[in-house]
Amino acid sequence: MSAQLPAGLLPPQLHVFVRDWLSSNNILLKSRDGHVLIDSGYLRHAPLTLALLASERGIGTARLSFLVNTHCHSDHVGGNAAIVERYDCPVAVPAAEAPLVERWDGRALLYDYCDQQVERFTVDHVLPPATTHVWGDLEWQALAAPGHDMGALVFYNPEYRILISGDALWENGFGFVMPPEIDPAALPATRATIDMLARLDIRVVIPGHGEPFTSVAAAIARARNRIAAFEADSLRIARHALKVNLMFSLLDKQRMSLADMPAYVERVEIYRDFNARFFRWPPAKLAELLVGALEEAGAARREDGWLVPA
């Protein structure tokens, strides 16, 4: 994890609840005019999200004015329904994502497609790109950041030079991107988004996952290297997408039966779809290679017939 941020880098009304890979970070912007929360984590962690929000660093029983999402993937909106139930607050999502949520398109939002769980919620406001919002007494520019998610937004505060980046930029990489054979626009958009971020004057990035960081140029350089590697090889991008999705599901389920794994990669559409397009392997071979890749990365291990997080 990164060193502590220098004092004064983040204004006092901004609180970051750093979570993990299953739940996105939660960013709380406090103001006498109303508190705003950005991103709500994953469904299974909703009780913890509520506890953090109710804690001393949170807002207790005060009103929440707005729940905002950088994008509508399951690890960013999984606590939406629980937060709305507790705080009765409106939900604002990126304009491009709103129709998908309104018709609850589990394929486009990757919920059914990737075997992820989300409790249904309703959109109250849409956030178009290139608009400015005052949250926590700070001005935030909503900027389109397509790539990992084609409708995603990032939020930039020029005064403190803070970027709330969602999954568009992490300290080491970004959220998985669809191979060109699935969405030809995704990888070029990822590159254009990183170029757009490189032109911003950023002092600190608050990513969707991991600690806030200030080594912005290095993170952008790493992101560009990864994009170049993906551009050179769509099998690499496909393998990466399946690997991170399986790891996400393993973190969700806590353990997965190794005997059931071939049936699992047959049953869940992303594995079946990618296998048919890219690999054309028997399901048992795909399952074995994915499990092996997670073991090799030190992310998971086999234990008494189960795959468990390492």
* Footprint on this chain of Zn ion (rule: CB under 5 A): 73, 167, 175
Q: Are 138 and 160 in contact (CB under 8 A)?
A: yes
SS3 for 52-100, per residue? HHHCCCCCCCCCEEEEECCCCCHHHHCCHHHHHHHHCCCEEEECCCHHH
CB of 22 to Zn ion, least distance (A): 12
Beta strands 64-68; 35-38: pairing state: parallel
CB of 75 to Zn ion, least distance (A): 6
Nearer to Zn ion, 87 or 121 (CB): 121
CB of 227 to Zn ion, least distance (A): 16
CB of 240 to Zn ion, least distance (A): 14
Q: What is the dihedral of CA 148, 152, 158, 159, to 10 degrees?
A: -110
CB of 173 to Zn ion, least distance (A): 12
- Of 294, 223, 264, nearest in space to 21 by CA: 294
The residue type found at 18 is V
CA distance 68 to 131: 14
Nearer to Zn ion, 21 or 279 (CB): 21
Name the closest residue to Zn ion (Cβ).
73
Nearer to Zn ion, 115 or 167 (CB): 167
Beta strands 162-166; 153-157: pairing state: antiparallel
Nearer to Zn ion, 15 or 73 (CB): 73
Nearer to Zn ion, 59 or 150 (CB): 150
